[in-house]
Amino acid sequence: MATPIAAIALVSMGMSVTDAAMVARLFGAEALAAVAVGSDLYSILYYFGAGILGGLAPFYTAAVVRADANAQVRLQRIGWVGALLVAALLVPIVWSAPDWLRPMGIDPALLDHGRGYTQAMAVTLLPMLGVVLYRTMLTAAERPRVFLCVTLVMLPLNAGFNYALMVGVGPVPALGVTGAGVSSFLVASTILVVMVVIGRVKTTKSETIRFDWSELFAVLRVGLPIGITAVAEVGVYLGATIYAATLGAAEAAAHVLVLRVAGVAYAIPMALLQAAMVRMARAETLGDQALQHSVIRSSIWLGLAGGVLLFACLAAGADPLATAFLGAGQFGATASLAAGLLLLLGVIELFESPCLAAAGILRGRKDTRAPMLFTIAGNWVIGAPLGIYLCEVEQMGITGVWTGLLFGMVLTTLLTLVRLAQSAAHTRWSLPRIYRAWRAA
């Protein structure tokens, strides 16, 4: 299951890279910077909304396992209501971003240049949340390859729309950088239409299927912590990017390269998370204890194997990759710095892969609040402050920032694995219980 899910993430990343490359090629670095402001804000809020809708997955998996078509239709409607509620909250935030970002010190000319693109991306949230809904349902039904095939077809379509709308072809007017945003809207809308056709579920009974508000709130209780977790994960790296820009061009360049590599590497453990979530939700629905333990073992072992594989690849490719992108000569120091950061990223992935596998298992059991708190604690209570301390006080520069992120990931992993052990043993550890166990020992 995880393989096509990871491929979907990489193809989606390919669309984003295509947008950035075409904007930079056609309109220059200033246009790319103008687009980046709206793109980064859109990405954060998109992940938040996608996380909330991800709370539907364990419920939908249960309906699929029971072969309850009516429940699947009811959950689909609940997902649409959730998507519309999320869109009503997020679209105005992105649409008005060029205005409320001004007091934060961002160049007003840059904001005005990218206003059309940002507002087009705000509208794109509407079909994209629908796409997320159908992707979630297909993944929950263990059919991610269907979505992968649709996404692969849309990759060249995205490039074609970009070119036609940005420079103008025939009767199509040239929209400049705004054309990239309009292209994203058209591609997302096309994917949504195809998904609606593919994802139709026929009911088995003729009676009216009533909307269940209590089930909507149950989905939101599971999904909202997932959305907050996504923001906590993405936000700390975005914050690190902003902070790295204050440290000088060399450190910022090394950080950006490593961050792009991290985005590609992240597709593997995140795919394992989603696969583990669906398989655990299936095992929970069946009430099969042996299957549950099998899912836990295989997910954690795959997480460990994936972490070791990513570490080995990053360790072996650190120097060649840094040199290939940043060169030698006058940029040799920057390449050397980036190589060191890539090694740190490899160690982070060594811990992150089993951590996300464990988090997926917990999500399959509808346990999402504790992993959310662990992520916030690891990234924002430990990782970010420690990184700033190592950077400023210990004079480690951007290496200190990434070292802080590493320690934050280690803490998150340990807490998540402890929570999984508690869940598997059907117990909860509290401070009084830990104290009594310590006294007994």
Residue type (1 letter), 56: L
What pLDDT score does 436 carry? 62
Helix residue ranges per DSSP H, 141-177: 144-167
Q: Is 241 exposed, middle or buried (0-12, 13-18, 19+ CB in 10 A)?
A: middle
What pLDDT score does 206 carry? 47
If DSSP codes are grouped into helix, strand and coil, which group holds residue 100? Answer: helix
**Nearest to residue 402, comparing CAs of 390, 394, 416?**
390
What pLDDT score does 242 carry? 76
Are residues 148 and 4 in contact, defined by beta-carbon separation less than 8 angstroms?
Answer: yes
What pLDDT score does 199 carry? 73
Question: Backbone dihedral region of 263: left (phi > 0), alpha (psi from -120 to 50 degrees) or beta?
Answer: alpha
What pTM was estimated for this model as a whole?
A: 0.88
- Beta-carbon neighbour count of residue 312 at 10 Å? 12
Are residues 50 and 8 in contact, defined by beta-carbon separation less than 8 angstroms?
Answer: no
CA–CA separation, 300 vs 306, rounded Å?
Answer: 10
Q: What number of helices (H) and strands (E) belong to the chain?
A: 17, 0
| Cα 389 from chain centroid (whole Å) | 27
CA–CA separation, 184 vs 186, rounded Å?
Answer: 6
Are residues 183 and 156 in contact, defined by beta-carbon separation less than 8 angstroms?
Answer: no
If DSSP codes are grouped into helix, strand and coil, which group holds residue 425? Answer: coil
- Owner of token pair 């669906």: 278
What pLDDT score does 390 carry? 94
CA–CA separation, 296 vs 359, rounded Å?
Answer: 11
- Owner of token pair 């009533």: 210
Are residues 346 and 314 in contact, defined by beta-carbon separation less than 8 angstroms?
Answer: yes
Are residues 117 and 181 in contact, defined by beta-carbon separation less than 8 angstroms?
Answer: yes
**Nearest to residue 232, comparing CAs of 391, 381, 89?**
381
Which regions in the chain score pLDDT beneath 50?
A: 206
CA–CA separation, 234 vs 242, rounded Å?
Answer: 13
| Cα 391 from chain centroid (whole Å) | 27
What pLDDT score does 152 carry? 87
363: enclosing H helix or E strand: helix 332-364
